[in-house]
Structures are given as C-alpha cells and as structure tokens.
Amino acid sequence: MPTANASRARRPSLQDVADLAATSKMTVSRYLKSSDLVAEKTRRRIAEAMETLGYIPNRAPDILSHAKSRAIGVLLPSMSNQVFSSLVHGIEEAVSARGYHTLYGHYCYDMDQEERQVEQLLSFHVDGLILCETEHTPRTLRMLEVARVPVVEVMELPERPIDLAVGLDHRAAARDMTGALLARGRRRIAYLAARLDRRTLLREEGYRQALSQAGQEPLVIQTQEHSSFSLGGEMLRRALAAAPDLDAVFCTNDDIAAGALLAARQAGLEVPRQLAVAGFNALDIGLALEPRLASVITPRERIGRLAAERLLGRLDGIVYQDAALDVGYALRLDGSI
Amino acid sequence: MPTANASRARRPSLQDVADLAATSKMTVSRYLKSSDLVAEKTRRRIAEAMETLGYIPNRAPDILSHAKSRAIGVLLPSMSNQVFSSLVHGIEEAVSARGYHTLYGHYCYDMDQEERQVEQLLSFHVDGLILCETEHTPRTLRMLEVARVPVVEVMELPERPIDLAVGLDHRAAARDMTGALLARGRRRIAYLAARLDRRTLLREEGYRQALSQAGQEPLVIQTQEHSSFSLGGEMLRRALAAAPDLDAVFCTNDDIAAGALLAARQAGLEVPRQLAVAGFNALDIGLALEPRLASVITPRERIGRLAAERLLGRLDGIVYQDAALDVGYALRLDGSI
DNA sequence: CTGAAAGCGCTAACAC
DNA sequence: GTGTTAGCGCTTTCAG
C-alpha cells in the first residue's frame, strides 16, 4: 500500500520508488537483485521511477540485518608512496572483478592511528580488511578478533599472521643486495634508513647479517623523517662525513637511493666507480637515472591481487593451507652498483 | 530486561554490554555519548563489560535513523601522486580536529569510475564529499543533488561549482610560467602533456595564450599515458626530434619535468644554458636535482585544510558568500630556467 | 539517574 | 510474479 508522504527532506527510499511505480518495495528490491525476477511491464515502471527519483542504494539496513556490506577495507600507511599505489591497483583489479568495493583509510605509519582506522572501518561493517603492517596495538587485535572478519596482512611475512598474509622476506632481500655489493668488491657499505618502520628495520637486519658474515663493520645512518629525494641527499652527505672511505650505500628505498645518487654526483663522485648505490622496490625513478638504479624488485601489484583474492576466498569459506604466502623478489643489479 | 542469548555468532551489541553490566542499553548509550550522565558505579560496570566483550561501535543503526555518519568521503584520482598526499594531510588535519572521519576512494582519472565511487560513498551515507574534478557524469551530478550532501570540488576553480570549490587558476599559472620563460629569452618552448586530464589541458591553454601573445608557435607533445619520470625522458626526446632548435620545455608536472631534465643531461644538453625546464606543483624531487627545478608552487595542504573546514562548516549550516575560493600560487624561478 | 517503546529502510521467509 | 511480516541495533522521545 502506497504511503502518503514522499517527504522532501529524505532521500528517496525503495518505498518511494514502489509508490511511484505502483508496486511494492519488495518487488523493487527483487528488481535490483536480478531484474528478470520481475515482469516486463513492472520492470519498465520501476526503471522509470528510479530514473525520476534518482534513487541511491542504502547500505545501512542491509548491514544492520547482518548482511554483508560487500566492501573491504584497506589501510595504507601513506598516500604518497608509489609502493602502495601498485598494491592498490592489484587490489582493485581483484575486488572489482567480484563486484566488491573498497574503502581506504590511512594512518601515517602510526599504530594508534591504525587502531582508530580499524575501528572506523569495522564500524561501517567492512567484510574484510587488508593491512600493511604486521604489528598492531592490543586493542586492534582484540577488535579484529571480536569482529571475526578475515584479515590479510600484506608486504611482509609475519611469523604468526593474524589470519592470512601475502608478502616477501625483506631481511633476505636486503641480505642478498648487500651480498651483491660485497661480491663486487665493496667494503665500506652504509645503510641509509629513514622513517624506521618495521620493513626498514628488517632490511637493516639483512644488511647487518651480510656484513657480519663478510667480516665488515656496519654503518647505519638513521632518521625518523619520512623518505624523500632531498632527504636521501642529506643522508648521503652524513654518511660521507662519517666514513670518508665510503664505497657503497644501500638505501631502505628508491626515493632515498635516488636522492643519494643525485647528491653523489653533485659532490663529484662517479657512480658506480667511486660509489655504488642500491635501493629497494624498483620504482620508475630508478630507470630515469643515469646510471640506472640497482634495486630490489618487489611484485607489489601481484601482492595486492593475491591478497584481495584470498580475502574474498575466505569470505566464500575457502581455507588456505599456507597462512603466509611468499611472493618472492628479484634483484636488479645494473647500473649504479 | 536482559535478553537470554548473547549469541556467539554476532558482534557484541549495546544490549550485550547492558546485560553484562546489569543495566539497560539506553544507559550504555548515554555512557558512550558522555559518561558523566551515568552514575559512577554504573559507569564502572559498563566500562568493565565493554572491555570484556570488546565492543565495537556500530554505525548502521545511526545511519538508518537519519543520523549523521560523522564521516566525509574523499575521492582521489590517483594514489601514487604526491600532489594528493599533501591534500590528504590537510584534509585529515581539519577533519580529525572536529572528530570526523574520512573514507577514501579512487577512480584512476576516470569519470565513470568516479560515478561508481560517489554512489558507493553515498550508499554508506557520508555526510559530505570532497572531489578532485570539476567535470562529472550526469548521473554523478544527479546523485549529488538527490543526496543533498555538501560537496567541495578542489584543485581547480570551476566556473559553476556544484556547491563549494577551493583551488587555483591553472591556466593563469601556466601562462605566467610560460611568460617567465619568454622573459628569459626562450623562443622555442614545447609543452609536455601527459594523461590529458582537465588540469593538463587548462595548463596547455595558458601556455598557448602566453606564446600567442609573444607571437611564438606552440609545440605540444602529448600522450595518454600516466606521468612518470621515464615518460618525461621519452617526451623530451620526442620534442627534440620535432624541434631541433628547442630551447625550453614547460611540463604539465614535476614528474615529467624531472624526467625531462635528467634526459636532457644524458643527451649532453646543459640545463638551463641550452635547455630550460619548468614543471608544475613544486614537488620534493625538484629540490634534489641540480640545477633545481623551476616550478609552480601550489598550496595543496592548504587546499585540503580549507576544503575540509568549509565542508564541515556547511554541515553546521554556515553559508559561504564566495562559492569558489582561490588559494593562489607562486612561481619558483630558480635553477633550471 | 534510568528505563521502555517506536522507528529508521531493507531483505529473508513465507504466503498467495 | 507479487505482497506481507518481522527484525537487524541504535537513539530519540517520553516516563518514571
């Protein structure tokens, strides 16, 4: 039965559409699900009514009645990092293919902000979460447990994933890259570490392992600041001041590495003859430099795709044997080393 | 009255908390709003119950009953662009100061994807939207109208904003930068345009205006590809092939400009003596280059802050006289020109 | 200071 | 092929 007032202060509801189409909201609901459940004539009337009213679906009732939101939450540490944009592309590809949507939040590499964002996304009832860290506050862990949504931790390979993980071994990758520098005869190798997040620290461990195996002294230049090209330059100057015999730098990422490479040349050092430079993540900037930047190639788009596929798989009840999936890495050993 | 089953398959609700705290859900609801409305003893029992159950707030009922979601939606064209990360910082600053949250979506510079994202965010009942484009599909415009949420379009200054706008005049900025190149005696100036989004086209118009005023011929190198450093290099090579007497390039952004500058040097051209290079947005990369990159300085964090403040202001019923707010720009005319 | 009832908009389940 | 009923979990009344 049509309700009298199509209140002007409210968004059109299914009831409004039903009233205008002279049918019931249940039929309109069916039409939205799969229009072939509805008679041709009714279908046309509904389509017209929707058009006229500009109906916008409302997720709230669905969510309220324990249905799915058909949205997954993705938490990014930073919005400016190329690294995460390829991840996002992979995620979107997998998610949109399945008719799901994504809601993004970001937390500036801060655990407490991550906690707030997790609460925020869960309070909107996302069906699953993709997180870019492996360390979380106790309350975050508690909320994930209580909410019982599938979670994929990406980038690293945590010892004990909350649920699922897709990533690579940053320690091993750093050890290999440092090993490659040593194999090329470099002896005084500094590690340039910015922001001091977990992945930067894991890479530092790999660097230290490789050096200690070769009997060389580590030299770590650290800062809490976020990575940038100009910061890379500053850090190289600090490294040169600390060790005038420096013959190589391994950088926690390509932004720092590119900045270091540019600054080295400005300081009159020939790369790689006098100074080798290696980065991490193999971003596009490395290919624009001359010589091109040696780096660790990480399959980030693939991580995103696999993470989303597994998350959606879990929603379908699939159980994965290997909680943590290792996507591996490769080394680009050209140019700057 | 306590309900019997604290179902194991459900997230804890306010009723569950109330049961455990031996009170009613109404009292718990009051406690969440402002705990001083509740007696000290009750308060302690509620806090304990919440702790035990790991209660997570639920936005759905609120939204359903026409309350606000206390979340604003932000649509970004890209996740990899530094430009938008400063915007996001500004937004977060203003929004979190007011106890609001943000939900992000991205649409790869594609109007139809933007449409889907707008629908998605509106279906979650965001209280307002920040959009980074000034052109939208008819359905997008319709949805915004029907949903009656405040909207701020950022970056540009649209002739007729949907609602509010905060941005700057890209055409004028490009005209000024091209004018600066002409004033320094450059005569054969190419414009390197990637991705061909609206802002790239506005900047091209400004470039053409300046050249035509000076009686010079424009030379526009275009591509549909997304900006990157290596693309900047390729485009410079195309420009040099098209005009061997090239003495300047004005680039649609700093990524292209940095790539062009690096490629120019690799081609043996001295910058700025033989070739001037100018960019747009004044990103950090420009400061790491030698010579440093001339560019248009855009106050993106400020745009984000002002946009969010005005959006929240509108939610409080404030009416702004000037729908479109011009934040201006500045030119950095050092180094590479 | 605390409680009880109604209602937001949608869909699952069950008629017809 | 279509309609009816009930209920999701919270807050806004209105009563104590």
* Strand pairing category for B164-167 and B324-326: parallel
Q: In this predicted model, what pLDDT tens digit does every residue of B171-180 receive, in sequence order?
A: 999 999 999 9
Contact across the interface for B64 and A61, Cβ inside 8 Å: yes
Please give chain A's pLDDT, 337 residues, in tens: 344 343 446 889 999 999 999 999 999 999 998 878 888 889 999 999 998 899 999 999 989 987 788 999 999 998 878 899 999 999 999 999 898 999 999 999 999 999 999 999 999 999 999 999 999 999 999 999 999 999 999 999 999 999 999 999 999 999 999 999 999 999 999 999 998 899 999 999 999 999 999 999 999 999 999 999 999 999 999 999 999 999 999 999 999 999 999 999 999 999 999 999 999 999 999 999 999 999 999 999 999 999 999 999 999 889 999 999 999 999 999 899 9
Terminal Cα distance for chain A, rounded: 77
Distance from CA of B23 to the nearest CA of A (A): 22
Q: Which two tokens stand for residue A230?
A: 């100009």
Give me the CA A306–C1' D13 separation in Å, rounded. Answer: 50
Q: What percent of chain B has pLDDT over 90?
A: 82
| Nearest Cα to Cα of residue A254 among A293, A219, A207 | A293
Chain B residues closer than 8 Å to A284 by CB: 228-230
Residue B62 burial (CB count, 10 A): 17
Given a contact cutoff of 8 angstroms between Cβ atoms, the answer to whether A87 and A303 are in contact is yes
Please give residues of chain A from 36 to 75 whose alpha-adjacent beta carbon (CB) lies under 7 Å from any atom of strand D.
37-39, 41-42, 61, 64-66
Given a contact cutoff of 8 angstroms between Cβ atoms, the answer to whether A156 and A167 are in contact is yes
Helix, strand, coil percentages (3-state) for chain A, rounded to 5, are: 45, 15, 40
C-alpha B306/C-alpha B325 separation (Å) is: 9
| Nearest Cα to Cα of residue B119 among B129, B132, B110, B109 | B129
Q: How far, CA to CA in Å, does A225 sit from each of A150, A193, A231, B231, B302?
A: 33, 10, 8, 29, 21
Residue B301, classed as helix, strand or coil, is helix
Distance from CA of B256 to the nearest CA of A (A): 10
Comparing CB atoms, the residue among B12, B71, B145 nearest residue A146 is: B12
Q: Give the nucleotide nearest to B15 (CA→C1').
A: D9
Q: Which nucleotides of D are covered by protein (CB under 7 A)?
A: 1-5, 7-13
Which residue places its CA closest to the C1' of nucleotide C5?
A: B26
C-alpha A31/C-alpha A192 separation (Å) is: 59
Chain A residues closer than 8 Å to B145 by CB: 54
Give me the CA B225–C1' C10 separation in Å, rounded. Answer: 43
Contact across the interface for A103 and B106, Cβ inside 8 Å: no
C-alpha A231/C-alpha B285 separation (Å) is: 10
Pick the residue of A56, A95, A149 with the most B CBs within 10 A to test the interface with B by mutation. A56
pTM of the model: 0.92
Helix, strand, coil percentages (3-state) for chain B, rounded to 5, are: 45, 15, 40
Q: In this predicted model, what pLDDT tens digit does every residue of B204-244 receive, in sequence order?
A: 999 999 999 999 999 999 999 999 999 999 999 999 999 99
* Strand pairing category for A330-332 and A324-326: unpaired
Give me the CA A61–C1' D9 separation in Å, rounded. Answer: 10
Given a contact cutoff of 8 angstroms between Cβ atoms, the answer to whether A254 and A283 are in contact is yes
Print burial letters for A28-64: b (CB count within 10 Å at least 16), e (below 16).
bebbeeeeeebeeebbebbeebbeebbbbebbbebbb
| CB B62 within 7 Å, strand D | yes
**Residue that the structure tokens 């979650």 belong to:** B124
Comparing CB atoms, the residue among B105, B125, B148 nearest residue A104 is: B105
